[in-house]
Amino acid sequence: MSRKSPAADRATPERIAEAAIALADEQGPAAVTFRAVAARLGVPHATLQRRVTDSAGLLNLCADHLASRLPDIPAGSMDWAAATEARFTALYRVLTAHPGLMALRGNRPWLGRHILARLVEPQLADNLAAGMSPRRAIAVYRGMYLATLGHASFVDHADPKAAVTASRVALAGLDAEEFPVLTAHQDVILDAVVDHEVFYGALRELVRAAGGEAGAGVGGGAGSGR
């Protein structure tokens, strides 16, 4: 009976994804190359390429690995509003914890099994059960999904202090007569730049609006937490 080589044992899909995600988090998305991932795993470059044939496959592997950390909330198992808030809050937390992956993702769709099974399928099923038409169910899902991606990707969560500093410099250069509101409320604006509650509040508003429109229950939300 043949035995797998030590290199093959180190180059499992899970370990490949973890190595690539760690590189992106620690050194930025440009650091994620086949050679760098192979070196981190301690395997030959060729071994890694036999497991993952191209960069798109590597990215999909990473995205689906992170999506496996999303909570499993089956359709119909919770109040519509609570389930919706819980799913998108979990997605936001995964994305902001790994900003390097957001940069790597670019505009590619996420169609891995875990994100389809733990987010897309149950959310669409719950939307339909709440009384939405198929078209409206998809539109509501897409609105919340894109809002979550936007909040997660348009702030440098890897270096929040740098994001605030850059915003402060930009605001300081504004003319007070031309931009009276922006210059008068700089402190409040800067506080909101990396405040996760901005996302949680926006998500709750989206849930309330969609729930009220569909006649779904909106009580008992999952809560934001920090």
* Neighbour-count burial of 85, counting CB atoms closer than 10 A to its CB (0-12 exposed, 13-18 middle, 19+ buried): buried
Sketch out the chain's domains with CATH numbers. Answer: 6-53 (1.10.10), 74-214 (1.10.357.10)
CA 68 centroid distance within chain: 12
Q: How far apart are CA 54 and CA 68, in angstroms?
A: 21
What does the pLDDT read at residue 225? 44
Contact 153, 102 (CB under 8 A): yes
Residue type, 201: G
Could you tell me the pLDDT band of residue 215, with boundaries at 50, 70 and 90?
low
* Per-residue CA distances from 120 to 115, 128, 191, 202 (Å): 7, 12, 32, 20
Q: How far apart are CA 196 and CA 142, in angstroms?
A: 20
Q: How far apart are CA 23 and CA 172, in angstroms?
A: 35
pLDDT digits (tens, 9 = 90+) for 146-198: 999 888 887 766 677 887 888 899 999 999 999 999 999 988 888 887 788 89
Residue type, 99: P
Contact 48, 12 (CB under 8 A): no
What does the pLDDT read at residue 106? 66
| Residue percentage of the chain with pLDDT more than 70 | 87
Predicted TM-score (pTM) of this structure: 0.79
Q: What is residue 57's three-state secondary structure?
A: helix
**pLDDT averaged over every residue in the chain:** 85
pLDDT digits (tens, 9 = 90+) for 49-85: 888 888 888 888 888 888 888 999 999 999 999 999 9
